[in-house]
Structure 1
């Protein structure tokens, strides 16, 4: 089978305004990938005739398969047919079966059908008509200039019905599909995107099948591996082989695949070591604990959390010595360590973790916004305290502090414990 370059175009100003999400494109892409068809472009066009025409012309010149969703309704702004016909130059005809379905809908609901609703039954003269038993406007398949065009309603339930009932079987026959595409997202923490790419440059620069795509997100990095094979098993085997080669190089930063989160991984490691944890949070305001308890089963490892935002509450509730606060301030290594120790002590937990710092926008205690101290106390003899400076606004600083806390815990738990582990 030759490589099929597919494109998905969504029609509707509501998509551009963010009033609804373009979930149609995501769903269609997944279905095409499962059949071995690559999607190279996603596009969204508002209800503007000239821009629709321009977009369709571009798609005709660069893609083998174009799937268009939306703009097949009865109103004036439903212009998909007319814009596409500037390209096709075909006569638009009323499809009798589709018109009958539209008329039946209004009769069944005791409503009068306005004349413009006949527009929903219009189809291209040389189209393969896909009868829509979930709605009114039919789908259409049109071949033009060596490109296969598929037009579907924008309503998700109608689009999915037509894709599953008609489009996917048609594509399997049309392209003689015998290819499976399999992807796996590898997730890493504690290494930056540029460093990860540097370590794997020899693989990335020579990639063919499978492919490697680095993807950065806040506080961590992902690698999406994608393989194409004649069978799913063949593609999975190719992914497994490449994954092993990658983890042989950067496996110390790897925490999981696909939908695994760092919170889930930390909880898994805590359970494995039969350890409990408690948190003392200042600038993070309980966010670390909130993310932990959002994971099912967290109650077996998470003892609790104390949010102590002011110096007085750190002293009164946590037991941070007043002399320590007066001498070093609350935004300090000393205060962070005392918070972790007392969180551990007050909850009888195996681990205490603390967060203190300046989220911004103003400085605090002479420290710049973005200054954060994170401390971890494990059992009675292992202490860790780190100072960080995170760029960004207030919420970014808080989120990055929480992610860094999970990163420190992950690497500490993964390495195991020794009585010599003590650092500042």
Structure 2
């Protein structure tokens, strides 16, 4: 199989300033993978002709296909055509059908067209022009020094239309691509990235097809498996075999695949065990239950939550005893234990989970910032409470506490 390597370049200073996110590159990469085309580089460059030309020159030396988004509009800072002219020497001409479409648009709007709008109809001589059905500037495909260049507007709706209707079919034909690239994302909780990589070192060292890539994310660790094959069936078989080998080593930490989140998995387990859950949240302030109720169908398993931030709420609403608070404090194993049981009783749930601790910026009750207690109660069983010492700022500690609650709950529910 001939390997075809692609590069995506986005042009626009607004991307560098963070005013908008470069979602185009992500979407284009996904589409190219479905057509068996590797994407090796993503680039973003501001509206400066020399810098754009320099980025184009580098791409020309290393990529078989370069897809450029943005810089095709009517204003002076739309410089994509001019930059490519510097490295290619190609002439730019006005594309009649596109110009007619632009003029017709202004006529329908009863608006006088300013002269700079003619710029949007300019294309490279000899290029394959793809009419823009949802905007003005057309797309172009140009072959220069054995590299295929694709120029597209930066507006996502226009870009996607041009890619689907014109670019992808033409690329498939030109490149004679008959293989596919498919990926699985395996999701893990309760194991760090370095530990996961250590456990899988032998498999990672021998990887070829599929490739194995461990990645740390805010809600756990994932492994991305990517396979290239002649068909979906063959690619999926390769992925399944590698997945089985991975789970044979670290399956105890695995909870789902692809888009399945830990909260989706928890809702599924609660439903299958006919359990309902309630939470008592102090430092997390509802973060745990907010993630849970984001899952469709969570109402079947979620009774509700009590945000008991102040000690008076713990006493008067959750009925944590004065003796517990006076003797051990609100940030304690004993308080977390009563919070978990009492919230389950109050909201008539079979499982209660509690969070209490110190998110900062100052210590509480002599406990340092980062001290967290999480309690889990299940009807008819003794509560379990775990103490943690989290590092990070206030928000990080709160996020990590909520995630650790999911880890504890997952461990309990899967037996």
* Distance in structure 1 (CA, Å) of the matches to 2:309 and 2:346: 17
Note the C-alpha offset of 1:136: 2.1
User: Who is 2:387 aligned against?
Assistant: 387
**Where in structure 2 are there 5+ consecutive unaligned residues?**
none
* 8 Å Cα contact 1:130-1:166 kept in structure 2: yes
* Distance in structure 2 (CA, Å) of the matches to 1:112 and 1:311: 67
Note the C-alpha offset of 1:162: 1.6
**Where in structure 1 are there 5+ consecutive unaligned residues?**
416-424
* 8 Å Cα contact 2:106-2:112 kept in structure 1: yes
* 8 Å Cα contact 2:264-2:295 kept in structure 1: yes
* Distance in structure 1 (CA, Å) of the matches to 2:94 and 2:356: 69
* Distance in structure 1 (CA, Å) of the matches to 2:120 and 2:43: 23
User: Who is 2:271 aligned against?
Assistant: 271
User: Who is 2:209 aligned against?
Assistant: 209
* Distance in structure 2 (CA, Å) of the matches to 1:99 and 1:311: 70
* Distance in structure 1 (CA, Å) of the matches to 2:165 and 2:301: 47
User: Who is 1:152 aligned against?
Assistant: 152
User: Who is 2:356 aligned against?
Assistant: 356
Does the residue aligned with 1:283 lie in a helix, a strand or coil?
coil
Note the C-alpha offset of 1:278: 1.4
Cα RMSD between the aligned structures? 1.3
User: Who is 2:302 aligned against?
Assistant: 302
* 8 Å Cα contact 1:264-1:295 kept in structure 2: yes
User: Who is 1:406 aligned against?
Assistant: 406
Q: Does the C-alpha gap of structure 1 residues 170 and 380 become closer, same or farther in structure 2, counting only changes over 3 Å?
A: same
Note the C-alpha offset of 1:383: 2.2
Moved over 6 A (4+): none
| Aligned: 1:327 with 2:320 | no
TM-score, structure 2 normalization: 0.97
Deviations 1:351-387 (A, max 9, x none): 1111100010111111111110001111222321110
* Distance in structure 2 (CA, Å) of the matches to 1:341 and 1:130: 64
Deviations 1:326-357 (A, max 9, x none): 11111111111111121122223221111100
* Distance in structure 2 (CA, Å) of the matches to 1:73 and 1:311: 59
TM-score, structure 1 normalization: 0.95
* Distance in structure 2 (CA, Å) of the matches to 1:295 and 1:158: 32
Note the C-alpha offset of 1:102: 2.2
User: Who is 1:283 aligned against?
Assistant: 283
* Distance in structure 2 (CA, Å) of the matches to 1:128 and 1:176: 18
| Aligned: 1:121 with 2:142 | no
Q: Does the C-alpha gap of structure 1 residues 133 and 273 become closer, same or farther in structure 2, counting only changes over 3 Å?
A: closer
Does the residue aligned with 1:173 lie in a helix, a strand or coil?
helix
* Distance in structure 2 (CA, Å) of the matches to 1:368 and 1:29: 46
Deviations 1:282-323 (A, max 9, x none): 111122122212212222222222121222221111111111
Q: Does the C-alpha gap of structure 1 residues 136 and 401 become closer, same or farther in structure 2, counting only changes over 3 Å?
A: same
* Distance in structure 1 (CA, Å) of the matches to 2:349 and 2:103: 69
User: Who is 1:422 aligned against?
Assistant: none
User: Who is 1:229 aligned against?
Assistant: 229
Q: Does the C-alpha gap of structure 1 residues 135 and 307 become closer, same or farther in structure 2, counting only changes over 3 Å?
A: closer
Q: Does the C-alpha gap of structure 1 residues 95 and 300 become closer, same or farther in structure 2, counting only changes over 3 Å?
A: closer
Does the residue aligned with 2:383 lie in a helix, a strand or coil?
strand
* Distance in structure 2 (CA, Å) of the matches to 1:234 and 1:367: 56
| Aligned: 1:64 with 2:61 | no
User: Who is 1:15 aligned against?
Assistant: 15
Q: What does 1:133-282 correspond to in 2, within 5 Å? A: 133-282=133-282
* 8 Å Cα contact 1:333-1:373 kept in structure 2: yes
Note the C-alpha offset of 1:190: 0.5
Aligned residues: 415
* 8 Å Cα contact 2:340-2:383 kept in structure 1: no
Does the residue aligned with 2:335 lie in a helix, a strand or coil?
helix
Does the residue aligned with 2:363 lie in a helix, a strand or coil?
coil
User: Who is 1:36 aligned against?
Assistant: 36
* 8 Å Cα contact 1:375-1:385 kept in structure 2: yes
* Distance in structure 1 (CA, Å) of the matches to 2:155 and 2:219: 37
* Distance in structure 2 (CA, Å) of the matches to 1:354 and 1:265: 19
* Distance in structure 2 (CA, Å) of the matches to 1:273 and 1:298: 14
* Distance in structure 2 (CA, Å) of the matches to 1:341 and 1:302: 15
* Distance in structure 2 (CA, Å) of the matches to 1:271 and 1:401: 24
* Distance in structure 1 (CA, Å) of the matches to 2:263 and 2:17: 34
* 8 Å Cα contact 1:285-1:307 kept in structure 2: yes
Note the C-alpha offset of 1:161: 2.0
User: Who is 1:419 aligned against?
Assistant: none
* Distance in structure 1 (CA, Å) of the matches to 2:405 and 2:161: 45
Note the C-alpha offset of 1:128: 1.9
* 8 Å Cα contact 1:308-1:314 kept in structure 2: yes
* Distance in structure 2 (CA, Å) of the matches to 1:186 and 1:321: 44
